[in-house]
Amino acid sequence: MPAHSKIRAVLFDLDGTLADTAPDLAYALNQTLIEAGKTALPLEPIRAVASNGSAPLIELGFGRNLDKATFEQYRQNLLSVYMNNLTRETTLMSGMESLLEQLEQNNILWGVVTNKPARFTDPLMAQLNLDQRASTIVSGDTTEHPKPHPLPLLHACKQLGTEPDECLYLGDAERDIEAGKRAEMGTIACRFGYLAEEDEIEQWGADRIIDHPQEVLAWT
């Protein structure tokens, strides 16, 4: 973990770290299920895979035995519903607004590095009134490689004008911590995020594990 005095920026994963997007992803999946004559699912099992992309959501709802054409049809339907409902219920994670305000007051830059495609990330950030506050927004298709490759994080550093060891990266998935470590940033794993039962957060190798966003301030 970089020394306190060196931290100039804090970067966040989006889904399950900065924002609680699971309710709207669940809505998109359940609308797709209902249109296909299936039963809607409760939020909790969806939350556990919400940050993994559209394919795992379709697998959760329909199983793995769909032919490719049907799978893609359902996936595109989910994405269409989601695009029209990006912030129907999405809010910042509990305690996150306070953290962002304190970072801003302390002149610490913050931004987002997500694997979510830009066509969803950009309007979502705008609808949450965060697009002008964030100093960088890097989506899954901004660079040649998504996380766990370090390139998106290094791209964010270039935009911020910071060195990697001047940044902290927060995430709720092992790929986030791997990307942060490969980029030589301080890494913080978020236990408050979208963890599945099989996730062993203690084994990810993060510099710190936190239960609440406010704990970040101890390392800035």
Give the Cβ contact number of residue 65 at 10 Å. 8
Query: 9-12 and 19-20 as β-strands: parallel, antiparallel, unpaired?
Result: unpaired
Q: Which whole-number Å values give the CA distances from 203 to 49, 57, 115, 164, 173, in the listed order?
A: 19, 25, 22, 23, 11
176 is catalytic: no
Residue with tokens 């964030």: 134
Q: Which of 13, 20, 24, 172 is catalytic?
A: 13
207 is catalytic: no
Residue with tokens 């978020």: 190
- The structure tokens listed for 105 are 């007051």
Do the Cβ atoms of 73 and 111 come closer than 8 Å?
no
Three-state DSSP string of 122-146? HHHHHHCCCCCCCCEEECCCCCCCC
Q: Which of 15, 20, 24, 176 is catalytic?
A: 15
- Residue 168's contacts (CB-CB under 8 Å, 6 or more residues apart) are 2, 7, 9, 10, 11, 185, 186, 187, 188, 216, 219, 220
Integer-rounded Cα radius of gyration of the chain: 17
Catalytic residue positions?
13, 15
